[in-house]
Amino acid sequence: MSKQYDVVVIGSGPAGYHAAIRCGQLGFRTACIEKWLNQNGKTAYGGTCLNVGCIPSKALLDTSQKYIEAQHEFSTHGIKVSKPVIDVPAMIGRKDKVVKQLTQGVAGLFRANKVDDISGSGRLIAAGLVQVTAHDGSQYEIEAKQIILAAGSVPASIPTAAVDQQTIVDSTGALDFTEVPKNLGVIGAGVIGLELGSVWARLGAKVTVLEALEDFLPVADRQIAAEAQKILGKQGLDIRLGTLVTNTATGKGKNSDVSVEFTSRNGDKQEKNQATFDKLIVAIGRKPYTEDLLDPAVGVELDERGFIQVNEQCMTSVANVYACGDVVRGPMLAHKGMEEGIMVAERLAGKKSQVNYDLVPSVIYTHPEIAWVGKNEEELTTAGVDFNIGVFPFVASGRALAANDSSGMVKLIADAKTDRVLGCHIIGPSAADLLQQVVIAMEFSASAEDLGLTMFSHPTLSEAVHEAALAANGHAIHIGNRKRRA
Ligand code: FAD
Ligand code: NAD
């Protein structure tokens, strides 16, 4: 007889492992199926995020930022060191250690919460029935009252730059270079392009970013995007907007270069160009991963872009089948998937949990970081909302100056009639962590005045948020300024 569970989760990424652990906590007999194997042939829990995404990229960002500080910042603080040298294999080794620790941690959390981990590939073959294909090819079935699909996403590709993981790599390959490329090309000036481009630029690569769109970071507030483009340009990222890659050609062998042909705009004309790179990263977005996940006869519907169709509660078109994380609509972010996974588990237990899709924070972990939540100036203007803006530059923050890290600003937007905070957009030191206090404030429908009346420790970077809130109502103490838009 096949094994029976209350809940079976397919995929152990942030969405899946949060769903599984919460189901375990709520007393459901739960299993989580994961097919990913690491280099040692062990099941790799934690999905893209822990294995080849959020965590390893941040490990490299942190190392490369320390290298930059040792190279350029220490002397400003009066610290003399001999010229730092980057040991790339040691950097990658440290990254791998962090990944190992965290992925093994997920296995430990499964044990602690009585979640059965099943190594193999899961396929939904009927409502309530999952077929597992083990790594030796053997197959068996497991039954579940409820099934949660959390299969995640994989990098998108373009035919003009086929990934070989040697010379032309995707985000996964770009986490494992064995040496710093001299000339690095990046296709796509999105989150991955900017983060991984920054890593290798800091370590000495000459980085050229080829972006198809004419606008830089079109999803961000325009003022923040303009500031980011200026700062990243100064750091050496050569960002070419309105650029389309038309062809690539790699030579033979592991260390061959790649020749890239592209068109870019010069005034009104599209010009043909060519560049040679020793590595090329393709970072043009990700796509939902549903390969071998679903028997079409079950009737789980996909949308026109291949995402599993769900409602706000992550219910699919088939009763008792849920889906969450990157495999469904919405931003492809770990924290969005985590919250969805928890919501699904709690709803299965009869709770009324929800995800507030209006308050999903976005962060780009460059230096300085870029972070935002809620509506931006352009969106509110288009919507005809009457609002106030408070801007506070980090150059007026005592703590930022003390740290010699004072580029950027906090921009807080509040409704002109109700003073309710509608959005916050930050570029600056620790922007991601600073933003979180505004996310909490917005979750509680705070006004800019509420934030202004709150006491902030001195001297902290957080005071920039305080001052931006005061500035929105026209009375920042330092040099914040206010704009009214009707
Ligand atoms: P995934 O993490 O993709 O996990 C899905 C899991 O399901 C995988 O382990 C897969 O092997 C497994 N699976 C798939 N099909 C099957 C099957 N049939 N049977 C068994 N198992 C299956 N997001 C952030 O919020 N912050 C960041 O800083 C950040 N940085 C990133 C950096 C990079 C380089 C990349 C690539 C992504 C980054 N992301 C970041 C995005 C983040 O990694 C994803 O949004 C997140 O991992 C999605 O979680 P998920 O659980 O939906 O899917
Ligand atoms: P992205 O959507 O952020 O950026 C892709 C960029 O590539 C866009 O600017 C797009 O216009 C451009 N592009 C697309 N096709 C192109 C082409 N043919 N030529 C040139 N440019 C092209 O995607 P990404 O950077 O690959 O990241 C994938 C996902 O992973 C994102 O959705 C993101 O949410 C997630 N992620 C998040 C973080 C974070 O939260 N810090 C970090 C990394 C990745």
pLDDT of residue 274: 96
- Confidence band of 13 (pLDDT split at 50, 70, 90): very high
Vertex 329, ends 325 and 334: CA angle to 5°? 30
Which residue, judged by its Cα, is nearest atom 41 of ligand 1?
A: 333
* 1, pLDDT greater than 70: no
The predicted model gives 379-400 an average pLDDT of 97
Read off the pLDDT band of 479 (50, 70, 90). confident
How far, in Å, is the centroid of ligand 2 from the Cα of 194?
9
| CA dist., res. 177 & res. 198, Å (int) | 14
Rounded distance between C-alpha atoms, residue 400 and residue 24, angstroms: 44
Which pLDDT score, from 0 to 100, does residue 485 have? 67
Q: Is 31 in the pocket of ligand 1 (CB under 6 A)?
A: no
* Most ligand 1 atoms within 8 A of CB, residue of 42, 54, 117, 343 to mutate: 54
Return the pLDDT at 251.
83
The pLDDT assigned to 252 comes to 78
Distances (CA, A) of 66 to 5, 70, 199: 47, 6, 11
Does residue 435's CB lie within 6 angstroms of at least one atom of ligand 1? no
What value does the mean pLDDT take over residues 220-249? Answer: 97
* Ligand minimally distant from the alpha carbon of residue 157: 2
Q: Distance between CA 183 and CA 460 in Å, rounded?
A: 39
Question: Which atom belonging to ligand 1 lies closest to the Cα atom of 325?
Answer: 52
CA distance 362 to 346: 25
Q: What is the mean pLDDT of residues 284-298?
A: 97
Is 466 assigned a catalytic role? no
Letter for the amino acid at 83? K
The reported pLDDT for the residue numbered 244 is 96
Q: Is the CB of 47 inside a 6 Å radius of any atom of ligand 1?
A: yes
**Is residue 486 over pLDDT 60?**
no
Distance of CA 242 to the CA centre of its chain: 23
Percent of the chain residues past pLDDT 70, beyond the cut:
99
Output the CA torsion sign for 219, 220, 223, 225: negative
Q: Is the pLDDT of residue 254 over 80?
A: no
Q: Which helix (H) or strand (E) holds 147?
A: strand 139-149
What is the residue type of 10?
Answer: I
pLDDT reading at 400 higher than 70: yes
Distance 320 CA to ligand 1 centre (A): 23
Q: What pLDDT does 297 receive?
A: 96
Local confidence band at 255 (pLDDT 50, 70, 90 cut-offs): confident
pLDDT interval class at 327 (50, 70, 90): very high
Name which residue sits closest to atom 23 of ligand 2, judged by CA: 285
Q: Share the mean pLDDT of the chain.
A: 96
CA of 155 to the centre of ligand 2 (A): 9
Which mutation among 58, 280, 284, 373 tests ligand 2's pocket best, with the greatest number of atoms within 8 A of CB?
284
pLDDT level of residue 125 (50, 70, 90 thresholds)? very high
Q: Where does 384-420 show beta strands of DSSP type E?
A: 387-393, 409-415
413 DSSP 8-state letter: E
Nearest CA to ligand 2 atom 8: 190
Residue type, 163: V
- Backbone angles phi and psi of 19, in degrees to 5: -60, -45
Cα of 191 from ligand 1 centre, angstroms: 15
Please give the pLDDT value at position 268. 81
Measured at the CA of 291, the angle between CA 287 and CA 294, to 5 degrees, comes to 120
Q: How many residues does the chain have?
A: 486
* Number of neighbouring beta carbons within 10 Å of residue 25: 17
- What does the buried/exposed string (b/e) look like for 28-37 if buried means 16 or more CB atoms within 10 Å of the residue's CB? bbbbbbbbbe
What's the pLDDT band for 53 if we cut at 50, 70, 90? very high
Tens of pLDDT, residue by residue over 409-459, are 999 999 999 999 999 999 999 999 999 999 999 999 999 999 999 999 999
Give Cα separations from 252 to 158, 167, 256 (angstroms): 21, 10, 6
Q: Quick check: 480 pLDDT over 90?
A: no
Per-residue pLDDT, averaged over 218-234, amounts to: 98
- Pocket (CB within 6 angstroms of ligand 2): 158, 187-193, 195, 210-213, 244-245, 283-286, 331-333, 363-365
Query: Max Cα separation, the chain?
Result: 72
Task: Report DSSP letters for 228-289, one per residue.
Answer: HHHHHHHTTEEEE-SEEEEEEEE-SSTT--EEEEEEEEETTEEEEEEEEESEEEE-S-EEE-
pLDDT at 330: 98
Record the pTM.
Answer: 0.97
Contact predicate 17/45, CB 8 Å: yes
Atom index in ligand 2 nearest the CA of residue 190 equals: 4
Helix axes 431-443, 463-472, angle to 10 degrees: 50
Give me the residues paired with residue 353 across strands.
none
Residues 93 and 136 sit within 8 Å (Cβ to Cβ): no
Q: pLDDT by residue (tens digit) across 166-194?
A: 999 999 999 999 999 999 999 999 999 99
Among residues 72, 77, 135, 458, the one annotated as catalytic is 458
pLDDT of res. 160: 97
What are the structure tokens assigned to 46, written together? Answer: 């934690």
Cβ-contact 141, 312 below 8 angstroms: no
